[in-house]
Amino acid sequence: MSSIAASSSSIAVLLSGNEAIAQGAREAGVGVAAGYPGTPSTEILEALVRSDPDREVYVEWSSNEKVAIDVALGAAVGGTRALTTMKHVGLNVASDTFMTAAYTGARAGLVVVSADDPGMHSSQNEQDNRFLARFAGVPLLEPSDSAEARDLTIAAFELAERFDTPVLLRTTTRIAHARGLVTLGERRAPSRAGFVRDAAKYVMLPGFARRRRVVLLERLEALRRHAEETPLNRVELRDPAVGVVTSGIAYQYVREALPEASVLKLGLTHPLPEALVRDFCARVGRVLVIEELDPYLEEQLRALGVAAEGKRFFPRAGELSPDGVRAGLRAAGLVPAGTPRTPAPAPATAARPPVLCPGCPHVVPFLALRQLGAIVTGDIGCYTLAASPPLSAMDSCVAMGSSIGMAMGLVRSGGASGPVVATIGDSTLLHAGIPALADAVANDTPLTVLVLDNGTTAMTGGQSHPGAGATIRGDGAPRVDIAALCRALGARSVTVVDPYDVAATYRALEKAIASPGLSVVITDRPCVVAPVKIRDTPFTVAAERCIACQLCMNLGCPSIVWADERYEGRHKVAIDETTCTGCAVCAQVCPTDAIALVTEGAPAHAG
């Protein structure tokens, strides 16, 4: 982690794929970088900032991925190399610009990084974004480890300028968050080629766009010819009986599971080098395509008339793994089926789903919503965890900003059996919630919008956003006032409440639900984990007062555990003082006042 901050040298250092992309961008002389945080892409811009103490590069967390790609495109049109980073679903948001940036190209290199999340470790879907490169008609690069992440980032900028096109650099979790050895090169100061007015290229009026569409198609043909020759695509001829066509992380699994097989290793996977593929397939016996997620390469090989086998043996759902590749090879009869390892049996263990942290300010609003019988449309953020027990207070979560629009639809469906409440975090509201809130106001929708304002983009580790009052470099910045924003959009009932005040939060939500038309409740408390850890005096349980009612256990707080001691057969509770943040919420819900501050509580209850 510290290695990228060190000055470049010829020795190999351990970098994650994300750090290697930042390093590659610096070596390519990137001048502007913009993105929206999202696992597994987040660390690219953070590493870029760490690598740039002299502030040669302009780096920002944008309010969403569409803004980020617009910033990057504008920078590239302005003549400096530009990078934009996002997770796979972020490219959906940016796709409006992405599809047409393929027409305009740019003056300096524009590289778009999409970090996909096969297996959905931290995502709502596992879409295979290689199809978006093909859809837009832009070249697609797929690194297979950290060293290639650096190399292909540099290659992406060169390709972008040589062919005057945006380039999609697509990683997956096991590239982005895997560390490997990377040999560093010299960083370059940002290129500054300057802006040159060219309306026919950058003003996509239909008349100009029709011409650029033809340019795009001609460019794709030139790129196809380039793909045949580039060293990014290479043939590794070994045993000719089996030839594997592969890309990305799957290449690494293939090399271990089938070390003797011939491999066509593709680094540039759009446009496909058709002659190279045909030639390779003619030189080997059986052709297998081994790729993570969808049959992107396999279908194109089939369209070329190659009898390629792939998804028949290898999973289309979930993350590929060494075990998954071996299982597929067994099914294909390429490795002996006998004696698969039988792992040692383990005793039963406790499941450990992710939970809201001790002291999380999102807990109380959801406790209240459950008790108020609300139908709750959720959104993307830590608070999505409120869908799980014991809060169990969320009924939908689909995409960034969807909560408000879906709540409007639920109201208009006439099918809602209770009050409808949309819940959305501050970063998500500023990302994609504002248009929906304006819509709800303008259409006078009887609806409550609960904005969970913790001042940061928490789930991804505490990145700044326009309401956070800081830049990615930690500098102070003007901040959007969310309550004033809601009022400016036309919401007449806007209440700000402290979610650590249990009674006030209940009352605010009750009142908002009962009020006619659109109401907004904003819970205002900083995240206790990021960007800074917040700790106050912890609380403790006076065991002699605890009647084991379990009311505090309904908070789902990881600091509250069962004590060995029981009352009428039920466990009393205890508080782990090393993790308790002192939020005081449990002390407020306790019906017997058994929970008190550690310092005051002990003597007070002694008598």
Q: Rule CB under 8 A: say whether 499 interacts with another protein.
A: no
Judged by CB under 8 A, the residue of 382, 393, 449, 491 near another protein is: 382
Torsion angle of the four alpha carbons 452, 117, 375, 388, in this order, in degrees rounded to the nearest 10: -90
Q: Rule CB under 8 A: say whether 568 interacts with another protein.
A: yes
Judged by CB under 8 A, the residue of 199, 336, 341, 478 near another protein is: 341
Judged by CB under 8 A, the residue of 556, 581, 586, 594 near another protein is: 556
Q: How far apart are the C-alpha atoms of 264 and 262, rounded to whole Å?
A: 7
User: Shortest approach of another protein to residue 178 CB, angstroms?
Assistant: 4
Q: Which is nearer to another protein, 319 or 426 (CB)?
A: 319
Residue 477 tokens read as 């910045």
Strands (E), 417-469: 420-425, 447-453
| 413 Cβ contact partners less than 8 Å away, ≥ 6 residues apart | none
Judged by CB under 8 A, the stretch of 34-42, 288-296, 394-402, 486-494 that binds another protein is 34-42
User: Shortest approach of another protein to residue 347 CB, angstroms?
Assistant: 5
Place of tokens 């090399």: 255
> Cα 566 vs. chain centroid, distance in angstroms?
44
User: Shortest approach of another protein to residue 569 CB, angstroms?
Assistant: 4
Judged by CB under 8 A, the residue of 206, 305, 345, 414 near another protein is: 345
Q: Looking at residues 246 to 285 of the shown chain, list those that interact with another protein (rule: CB under 8 A).
A: 249, 252-253, 255-256
Judged by CB under 8 A, the stretch of 215-223, 353-361, 485-493, 512-520 that binds another protein is 353-361
Q: Looking at residues 580 to 599 of the shown chain, list those that interact with another protein (rule: CB under 8 A).
A: 591
Query: Contacts with another protein: how many residues (CB under 8 A)?
Result: 75
User: Shortest approach of another protein to residue 283 CB, angstroms?
Assistant: 23
- DSSP code, position 537: P
Q: Which is nearer to another protein, 199 or 351 (CB)?
A: 351
Judged by CB under 8 A, the stretch of 267-275, 516-524, 535-543, 545-553 that binds another protein is 545-553
Is residue 89 within 8 Å of 127, Cβ to Cβ?
yes
Judged by CB under 8 A, the residue of 199, 307, 350, 606 near another protein is: 350
Judged by CB under 8 A, the stretch of 11-19, 93-101, 303-311, 598-606 that binds another protein is 11-19
Coil, helix or strand for 89? helix
Q: Which is nearer to another protein, 371 or 599 (CB)?
A: 371
- DSSP code, position 96: H
Q: Which is nearer to another protein, 32 or 459 (CB)?
A: 459
Q: Which is nearer to another protein, 131 or 562 (CB)?
A: 562
Is residue 402 within 8 Å of 379, Cβ to Cβ?
yes
CB atoms within 10 A of CB 5: 12
Q: Which is nearer to another protein, 59 or 549 (CB)?
A: 549
Q: Rule CB under 8 A: say whether 64 interacts with another protein.
A: no
Judged by CB under 8 A, the stretch of 47-55, 176-184, 218-226, 278-286 that binds another protein is 176-184
**Residue 414 dihedral angles phi and psi, to the nearest 5°:** 75, 5
CB atoms within 10 A of CB 415: 9
Q: How far apart are the C-alpha atoms of 38 and 91, rounded to whole Å?
A: 11
Q: How far apart are the C-alpha atoms of 287 and 504, rounded to whole Å?
A: 66
Q: Which is nearer to another protein, 391 or 497 (CB)?
A: 391
Q: Which is nearer to another protein, 177 or 487 (CB)?
A: 177
Judged by CB under 8 A, the residue of 548, 580, 584, 595 near another protein is: 548
Judged by CB under 8 A, the residue of 338, 347, 476, 603 near another protein is: 347
User: Shortest approach of another protein to residue 73 CB, angstroms?
Assistant: 28
Task: Tell me how far apart the terminal alpha carbons of the chain are, to the nearest angstrom.
Answer: 53
User: Shortest approach of another protein to residue 377 CB, angstroms?
Assistant: 20
Q: How far apart are the C-alpha atoms of 466 and 475, rounded to whole Å?
A: 13
Is residue 21 within 8 Å of 169, Cβ to Cβ?
yes
The b/e string for 494-518 (b: 16+ C-beta within 10 A; e otherwise) is bbebebbbbeebbebbeebbeeeeb
Q: Rule CB under 8 A: say whether 173 interacts with another protein.
A: yes
User: Shortest approach of another protein to residue 319 CB, angstroms?
Assistant: 9
Q: How far apart are the C-alpha atoms of 298 and 271, rounded to whole Å?
A: 14
Coil, helix or strand for 577? coil
Q: Which is nearer to another protein, 455 or 556 (CB)?
A: 556
Judged by CB under 8 A, the residue of 279, 570, 599, 600 near another protein is: 570
Q: What residues are paired with 171 via a beta bridge?
A: 115
Q: Which is nearer to another protein, 487 or 571 (CB)?
A: 571
Question: What size, in residues, is the chain?
Answer: 607
Q: Looking at residues 140 to 159 of the shown chain, list those that interact with another protein (rule: CB under 8 A).
A: 145
Judged by CB under 8 A, the residue of 74, 562, 588, 598 near another protein is: 562
Q: How far apart are the C-alpha atoms of 44 and 20, rounded to whole Å?
A: 8
Judged by CB under 8 A, the stretch of 93-101, 158-166, 423-431, 550-558 that binds another protein is 550-558
Q: Looking at residues 278 to 337 of the shown chain, list those that interact with another protein (rule: CB under 8 A).
A: 321-323, 326
Residue 580 tokens read as 């308790």
Judged by CB under 8 A, the stretch of 296-304, 308-316, 383-391, 407-415 that binds another protein is 383-391
- DSSP code, position 491: -
User: Shortest approach of another protein to residue 550 CB, angstroms?
Assistant: 4
Q: Looking at residues 432 to 471 of the shown chain, list those that interact with another protein (rule: CB under 8 A).
A: 459-461
| 119 Cβ contact partners less than 8 Å away, ≥ 6 residues apart | 126, 173, 318, 319
Q: Looking at residues 93 to 122 of the shown chain, list those that interact with another protein (rule: CB under 8 A).
A: 121-122
> Cα 207 vs. chain centroid, distance in angstroms?
37
Q: Looking at residues 68 to 87 of the shown chain, list those that interact with another protein (rule: CB under 8 A).
A: none
Q: How far apart are the C-alpha atoms of 300 and 317, rounded to whole Å?
A: 19
3-state secondary structure 298-321: HHHHHHCCCCEECCCCCCCCCCCC
